[in-house]
Amino acid sequence: MARMVGAVGERLRSHHVLSWSAVGVAAAALVVACFVPSLEIAISAFIGAGNDQRGFRYERELALAFDVGWPGPLALVAGLALVVAAVTGIVVGSRPWLVVASFGVALALGLLVFDTEDQRLSWAESRGVVAYESPHGGPLLQPALDELKAEARASPEARNPGWTLTGGEHGFSSRGLTAWRVFLWSVLVLLWLTGYRLSRLALGPLASVALVAAATAAFFIWLVVRTLTRFA
């Protein structure tokens, strides 16, 4: 019995079952989040001026799997691929090709999250919008924004000659919902886990943890400095 338990323990360690299981759980959470409305977009319009002005609000909640541009469905495919990679890692262990591919997929998801959080999400208070000089939704949000504007222009109130989009042609508000937070944190966990597995190809456990922690700290410091610079 002791020999059997030892053999099972050795298999768990050699195939890195715990870390690949964590990858699978994070990837599964990401996949689920893709099917739940995770982003909200809004535009507004008005008719008239002063005391006679009437405002109109058009909003839509978006699921990454169905309602956004091509990066959304691609993120779902990436999440499913990482679930498969996690199962493969549990079965065959941390083969270099599997580790590198998993980190590459997680990194691509991280770039999508960063672009969306940093450039695309901005929610104006008091039912307003953020004005932009050019289309600003990016490949993820712009198709849904175009559809929402088309629906607004087809509304009964838009037949009024004075109907005007607030913030100009490209103004909109957008924000992440609870499912977006699940998606975001799942991606961060996947980056940490696959980054650790990647560093373990060349380094020991403690050095790998230190490297991932240092990279994470450096990124957040850069992000804070960048944010402060933008608002200075």
Same domain, 157 and 227: no
Same domain, 228 and 166: no
State pLDDT tens for residues 37-72. Answer: 999 999 999 998 877 788 899 999 999 999 999 999
Which residue do the tokens 């909109």 mark? Answer: 172
Q: For residue 90, is it within any domain?
A: yes
Same domain, 127 and 209: no
| Alpha helices (runs of H) in the chain, residue ranges in sequence order | 2-14, 17-34, 71-92, 96-115, 138-153, 178-199, 205-231
Cα–Cα–Cα angle for 68, 226, 208, nearest 5°?
85
Q: Which domain holds residue 231?
A: 205-232
CA-based nearest residue to 86, from 33, 15, 35, 34: 15
More confidently predicted of 159 and 2: 159
Indicate whether this model's pTM tops 0.85.
Answer: yes
Q: For residue 10, is it within any domain?
A: no
Same domain, 217 and 163: no
Same domain, 62 and 88: yes
Same domain, 184 and 224: no
CA-based nearest residue to 68, from 139, 122, 121, 120: 139
According to the model, what pLDDT value does residue 3 have?
Answer: 54
Same domain, 178 and 211: no
Same domain, 173 and 213: no
Instruction: Determine how many CB atoms are found less than 10 A away from the CB of residue 232.
Output: 5
Same domain, 191 and 212: no
How many domains are contained in the chain? 2
For a pLDDT cut of 90, what percent of the chain falls above it? 71
